[in-house]
Amino acid sequence: MKQTIVCMKWGERYSADYANCLWSMIRRNTKRDTRLVCYTDDPNGIDPAIETHPLPKIALPDRIKNKPWRKISLWNHEVPGISGDVLFMDLDVVITGSIDEFFDHSPESTFCVIENWTQPGSKIGNTSVYRFRVGAHPYLYEDLERDPESILAKFPNSQTYISRSIRSMTYWPAPWCVSFKHSLMPRWPMNFFKTTPLPPGTKVVCFTGKPDPDEARDGRWPAPWYKKTYKHVRPTPWIAEHWR
């Protein structure tokens, strides 16, 4: 049976090159028949081998319609082009190891996710990489559409909403998915002197906020001048090896 991975691309934050790079990394890190489905508002430039669909519909207040809350659209009863257990990946991840185990882990679970690195023990998942069963938890979609303002008042972001509302949640083994910024980067002031390492056993490195993969690769961290005293990253060669 073919494995399905999904991603979403909207607006101008990420170009088609990010989707194409994700597909290239997927192909190098699986031994199984795998497809990538990209939900997007602009399929131009996306590799024809990637299956594209329009963004799933969801009614959101204007102020959050282009924020990660849009990912909640994947929790509807049905989602065009996908069914069963599928793996979601953000566009700005770097795949560094086999991804097939993501489909084998806890096969009974309808939601497997990263334990959020900045909130250990708080039962908050980070949704940069997660596996979900299509149609298993439609109340996440329905409740947000029905009363978005009350949910936005209660939860600071979409991954906290999912984590606090979903009826079952399983974490990936911690070494599989790490944060470049929160797990790997040497702490200040050593980030000025030491190159960020890649631990053995890492499957996916996630880039939340800044720097993006290409910026970290080249040793650039866009930030206001007054934050340059601590927001610094040395060039990171292993990103170039994997992020292509």
Cα–Cα dist 66/10, whole Å = 7
What per-residue confidence (pLDDT) applies to 205?
98
Q: Which amino acid is at 172?
A: W
Cα–Cα dist 228/220, whole Å = 11
Please report, for residues 132, 229, 231, 232, the alpha-carbon distance to residue 226 in angstroms, rounded to integers and kept in the order given: 41, 7, 9, 12
Measured N-to-C along each axis, helices 158-165 and 139-146 cross at an angle, to the nearest 10 degrees, of 120
Cα–Cα dist 18/237, whole Å = 18
Q: What does each of the 244 residues of the chain score in pLDDT, given as a tens digit?
A: 899 999 999 999 999 999 999 999 999 999 999 999 999 999 999 999 999 999 999 999 999 999 999 999 999 999 999 999 999 999 999 999 999 999 999 999 999 999 999 999 999 999 999 999 999 999 999 999 999 999 999 999 999 999 999 999 999 999 999 999 999 999 999 999 999 999 999 999 999 999 999 999 999 999 998 999 999 999 999 999 999 9
Rounded to the nearest 10°, the torsion over CA 29, 35, 41, 47 is: 70
Task: Identify the three-state secondary structure at position 42.
Answer: coil
Cα–Cα dist 109/131, whole Å = 9
Domains delineated in the chain:
3-171 (3.90.550.10), 177-242 (no CATH)
What per-residue confidence (pLDDT) applies to 82?
98
The length of the chain, given as a count of residues: 244
Whether residue 123 contacts residue 111, with contact meaning beta carbons closer than 8 Å, is answered with no
Whether residue 88 contacts residue 74, with contact meaning beta carbons closer than 8 Å, is answered with yes
What per-residue confidence (pLDDT) applies to 75?
98
Q: How many angstroms separate the most distant Cα atoms in the chain?
A: 53
What per-residue confidence (pLDDT) applies to 1?
81
DSSP secondary structure letter of residue 116: P
- As given in the structure block, the two tokens for residue 78 are 């049905």
Element (H, E) at 132: strand 125-133
- List residues bridging with 37 in a β-sheet: 6, 51
- The structure's pTM equals 0.96
Task: Identify the three-state secondary structure at position 184.
Answer: helix
